Amino acid sequence: MARTLLFLALILTTLPCPQFAADSATTSMIPGEPAFFLFGCGPRQKLMYRGGELLDARTGEVLKRWSVASAAIRPAELTVTLTLTTSNQPVVISEDAEGVWLEENGRRASVSAAPVTLPDFIDGKRDATTAALLRILHHEILLNVVDGKPLPNFMVYRTPWYRDAAMMAMVLARTGNVDLIKEWILGLREPFDRNNAGQREPDNLGQALYLVSLVADAKHPLVAAVLKEAESFRAGDHLTGNSDFAPHPVYQTKWMKFGLRALGLPDAWKIPLVEDSYSPLFWMDYRDHHVGTAGFVSQGRQAYPYLGWASDHFYGKKPTLPAVAFPLSWEADASQADYRGMSLVGANYVSARLCAPHTWHAAEMFLYLSE
pLDDT of residue 176: 98
* pLDDT 10s digits, 4-34: 444 454 455 433 343 333 333 335 788 888 8
Query: How far apart are the C-alpha atoms of 240 and 217, rounded to whole Å?
Result: 26
Q: What is the pLDDT of residue 8?
A: 53
Can you tell me the distance from the alpha carbon of 367 to that of 193, in angstroms, rounded to the nearest whole number?
Answer: 24
Q: How far is CA 137 from the centre of its chain?
A: 8
Residue 233: is its pLDDT beyond 90? yes
**Residue 241 DSSP one-character state:** -
pLDDT exceeding 70 applies to what percent of the chain?
A: 91
Q: How does 352-363 read in b/e, with b if 16+ C-beta sit within 10 Å?
A: bbbbbbbbbbbb
- Burial of 63: CB neighbours in 10 Å, binned 0-12, 13-18, 19+: middle
Predicted TM-score of the model (pTM) = 0.93
- Average model confidence (pLDDT) across the chain: 92
* pLDDT score of 31: 82
* 87 closest CA partner among 103, 105, 74, 62: 105
In this structure, of 5-9, 151-155, 234-238, 350-354, the range with the lowest mean pLDDT score is 5-9
Helices 203-213 and 221-231: crossing angle in degrees, nearest 10, is: 160
Q: In the predicted model, is pLDDT for residue 129 greater than 60?
A: yes
What's the average model confidence in pLDDT over 271-297?
Answer: 88
Distance, in Å, from the CA atom of 321 to the CA atom of 107, rounded to the nearest integer, reads 38
> What's residue 15's pLDDT?
38
- The residue extents of the domains of the chain are 23-113, 128-369
Confidence of residue 325 (pLDDT cuts 50, 70, 90): very high
pLDDT of residue 349: 96
At 145 the three-state DSSP class reads strand
pLDDT, tens digit (0-9, with 9 covering 90-100), for 171-219: 999 999 999 999 999 999 999 999 999 999 999 999 999 999 999 999 9
- Read off the pLDDT of each residue in 80-87 and give the average, rounded to a whole number: 96
**Backbone φ, ψ for residue 186 (5° rounding):** -60, -30
What confidence score (pLDDT) does residue 14 get? Answer: 39
pLDDT score of 20: 34
Q: How far apart are CA 201 and CA 196, in angstroms?
A: 8
Asked whether 292 and 319 are in contact (CB, 8 A), the reply is no
End-to-end CA distance of the chain: give it in Å, rounded.
34
